[in-house]
């Protein structure tokens, strides 16, 4: 994979600072039942990096100490961390809204037969990536047979009450190539119509997410000679109004070892949260303070969050 950070560091993106922390986004490890070619963390069935019980307990302490409202779980397949259910149950006891970024196929793996019912019981919001509503495009991006399993997964979640307003089911769309996502509301209507008509699937919300010029996507742009053009597209579509709402203002991203980043993209770039003494900040540092007012590490990839309607883990910002 071609490195992108050196192409992004020299930036004119505005300096921004953290506000009050409301979301802790934790990567529980790189173990996954799939091994998608585009995966930004190279997750797969043979990866052994998993957040330990000690760090899971530390995360729970942080949720409590900082009165954090949202816990957003990613991976790999976050459900494959042996402490996933423990973390979710304890966080829910604290009244925290839990989001599971679920690949849907995990619901059909041996040993995970009760996972969907567990998520429903705990009222966990399920966020699932479905880059298109046609089988060909999804299988091309995520692997053969993934579309059929995703459909079956969404139907299983619907049968448990997901997608009808009470138990929140959200889908994520990102463009296949170097373009900005279309209008989120219009695409959501299209998705709702197609999925209902062809598969009798309902869901609550579609999140459109802009592709970031980093990791695999960035590397693909470089190898095709499209990196500069894509950056020009992002910069030309800069919308200053999105700056106040970029997710790093209120979210901290945590890696499987407990280290802190301003967002998941900075985690992927391995750029830690800036600290006064140049030490890497860790979950344990969050017990004492939430770092409101601290500067955020920005570089040219941040234009991906502010272009057009804006982009975050929760979709468009505008
Ligand atoms: S399902 Fe997600 S985490 Fe797993 S390999 Fe695919 S992209 Fe990576
Ligand atoms: S990539 Fe987006 S979320 Fe991350 S630091 Fe830049 S503006 Fe913030």
What angle do the packed helices 84-93 and 53-65 form, to 10 degrees?
20
pLDDT recorded at residue 276: 86
Atom of ligand 2 at shortest range from CA of 212 = 1
Distance CA 66, CA 49 (A): 27
Compute φ and ψ for 109, nearest 5 degrees: -80, 145
Range of the structural domain that residue 193 is part of? 5-306
Report the nearest-CA residue for atom 7 of ligand 1: 39
Q: So what's the pLDDT on residue 39?
A: 80
Find the CATH number of the domain harbouring 258.
3.20.20
Residue 313 lies in a domain: no
Task: Please report whether residue 317 resides in a domain.
Answer: no
Q: Do 153 and 108 touch, CB atoms closer than 8 A?
A: yes
In a domain, 312, yes or no: no
* Residue 311 resides in a domain: no
Q: Quick one: pLDDT at residue 126?
A: 98
Distances (CA, A) of 113 to 5, 29, 117, 122, 127: 41, 21, 8, 16, 19
pLDDT value, residue 133:
77
Taking the C-alpha atoms of residue 89 and residue 68, their distance in angstroms, rounded to an integer, is 15
- Residue 193 Cα, ligand 1 centroid: separation in angstroms? 27
Inside any domain, residue 36: yes
CB 83 within 8 A of CB 51: yes
Residue 315 placed within a domain: no
Q: How many angstroms does the Cα of residue 302 sit away from the middle of ligand 2?
A: 5
Q: Does residue 314 lie within any of the structural domains?
A: no
Total of domains in the chain: 1
Distance 266 CA to ligand 2 centre (A): 7
Mean pLDDT per 10-residue section of the chain, whose length is 318 residues: 92 97 98 84 93 98 97 97 98 98 95 97 95 73 80 96 94 92 96 95 96 91 96 97 96 98 96 92 95 97 96 88
């Amino acid at each position: 994979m071609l490195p992108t950070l050196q192409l992004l560091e020299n930036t004119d993106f505005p300096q921004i600072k953290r506000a009050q922390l409301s979301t802790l986004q934790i990567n529980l490890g790189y173990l996954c039942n799939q091994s998608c070619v585009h995966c930004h963390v190279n997750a797969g069935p043979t990866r052994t990096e998993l957040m330990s019980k000690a760090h899971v307990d530390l995360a729970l302490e942080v949720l409590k100490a900082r009165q954090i409202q949202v816990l957003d779980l990613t991976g790999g397949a976050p459900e494959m961390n042996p402490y996933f259910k423990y973390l979710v149950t304890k966080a829910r006891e604290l009244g925290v809204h839990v989001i599971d970024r679920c690949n849907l196929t995990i619901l059909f793996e041996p040993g995970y037969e009760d996972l969907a019912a567990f998520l429903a019981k705990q009222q966990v919001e399920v966020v699932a990536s479905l880059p298109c509503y046609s089988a060909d495009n999804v299988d091309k991006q995520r692997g053969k047979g993934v579309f059929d399993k995703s459909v079956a997964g969404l139907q299983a979640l619907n049968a448990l009450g997901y997608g009808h307003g009470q138990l929140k089911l959200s889908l994520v769309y990102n463009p296949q190539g170097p373009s900005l996502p279309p209008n989120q509301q219009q695409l959501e209507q299209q998705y709702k119509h197609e999925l209902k008509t062809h598969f009798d699937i309902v869901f609550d919300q579609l999140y459109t997410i802009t592709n970031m010029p980093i990791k695999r996507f960035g590397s693909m742009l470089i190898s095709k000679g499209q990196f500069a053009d894509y950056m020009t597209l992002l910069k030309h579509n800069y919308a200053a109004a999105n700056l106040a709402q970029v997710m790093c203002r209120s979210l901290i991203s945590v890696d499987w070892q407990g280290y802190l980043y301003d967002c998941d993209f900075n985690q992927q770039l391995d750029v830690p949260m800036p600290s006064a003494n140049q030490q890497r900040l860790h979950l344990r540092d969050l017990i004492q303070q939430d770092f409101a007012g601290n500067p955020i590490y920005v570089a040219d990839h941040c234009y991906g969050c502010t272009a057009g309607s804006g982009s975050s883990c929760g979709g468009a910002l505008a």
